[in-house]
């Protein structure tokens, strides 16, 4: 026991020494190195899909692109919000709005590795997917609205205190959307399914290009990965109509 304690102590001491040595040559923080001018340009127009992303789990009666809703989000993320954000918007309540859908969505066992075929892997999950599509119909409809939005530009400010939208909802709905597309294709809707996956790929490319935060870009890349895996699964399926191979290349899309 004493020997183990000594080893742990030596390791901790070594880490501390390394930390101080590195900081001898490390430059000091400079708040002027990275400013708002260095971030991707963002639009505060109500048509910006970023507002829809914030409102994925809002109740049906809330218009997430209305002047009232977008004004609240603008104030929440504005430079003057600072420590008064909870007065502007109950962020804890906001994060809980997606919880009613979470249990149903978490029951679906999605393929994890790149080598897994989505159609075969989800063949035993069709009942769970159908139930999730019914119970999460509202956020899934909003997610499709998000995909179709003409513009997307994140405007999260460069601050550790800046709140971010519910990216768990983004991630969960992207997976459910992809699974739904694969299921629709097997049920004969090949044209619609492949087109919907291509739409999601186009959307994630726009999110990645405009993302200001690391986590936003990572979630968008994960959604793109699911889209590509689903698309490859469809194109490799024996029942896939041959002309749809043209959809695999963006240059060939009509």
**Chain center to CA of 56:** 11
Residue that wins the pLDDT comparison between 28 and 106: 106
Q: How many CB atoms lie within 10 A of CB 133?
A: 16
Residue that wins the pLDDT comparison between 247 and 126: 126
Q: Is the pLDDT of residue 251 over 50?
A: no
Give the whole-angstrom CA distance, residue 67 versus residue 45: 10
For the stretch 167-205, pLDDT in tens is 899 999 999 999 999 999 989 898 899 889 999 999 999
DSSP, residue by residue, 189-230: -HHHHHHHHHHHHHHHHHHHHH--SHHHHHHHHHHHHHHHHH
0.85 exceeded by pTM: no
Nearest to 203 by CA among 186, 233, 226, 184: 226
Q: How many CB atoms lie within 10 A of CB 27?
A: 7
pLDDT mean across residues, the chain: 80
Q: How many CB atoms lie within 10 A of CB 97?
A: 17
Q: How far is CA 57 from CA 42, 51, 68, 165, 231, in A?
A: 23, 12, 17, 10, 27
């Amino acid at each position: 026991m004493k020997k183990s304690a000594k080893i742990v102590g030596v390791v901790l001491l070594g880490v501390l020494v390394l930390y101080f040595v590195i900081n001898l040559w490390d430059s000091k923080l400079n708040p002027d190195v990275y400013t708002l001018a260095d971030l991707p340009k963002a639009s505060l127009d109500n048509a910006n899909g970023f507002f829809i992303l914030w409102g994925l789990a809002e109740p049906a009666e809330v218009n997430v692109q209305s002047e009232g809703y977008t004004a609240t989000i603008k104030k929440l993320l504005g430079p003057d919000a600072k420590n008064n954000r909870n007065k502007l918007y109950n962020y804890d309540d906001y994060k809980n709005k997606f919880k009613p859908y979470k249990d149903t969505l978490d029951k679906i066992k999605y393929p994890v590795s790149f080598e897994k075929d989505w159609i075969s892997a989800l063949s035993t999950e069709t009942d769970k997917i159908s139930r999730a599509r019914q119970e999460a119909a509202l956020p899934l409809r909003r997610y499709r609205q998000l995909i179709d939005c003409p513009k997307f530009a994140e405007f999260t400010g460069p601050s550790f205190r800046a709140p971010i939208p519910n990216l768990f909802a983004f991630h969960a709905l992207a997976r459910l959307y992809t699974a739904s597309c694969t299921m629709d294709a097997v049920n004969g809707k090949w044209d619609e399914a492949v087109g919907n996956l291509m739409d999601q790929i186009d959307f994630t490319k726009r999110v990645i290009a405009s993302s200001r935060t690391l986590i936003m870009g990572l979630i968008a890349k994960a959604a793109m990965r699911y889209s590509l895996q689903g698309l490859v699964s469809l194109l490799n399926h024996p029942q896939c109509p041959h002309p749809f191979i043209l959809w695999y290349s963006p240059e060939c899309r009509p």
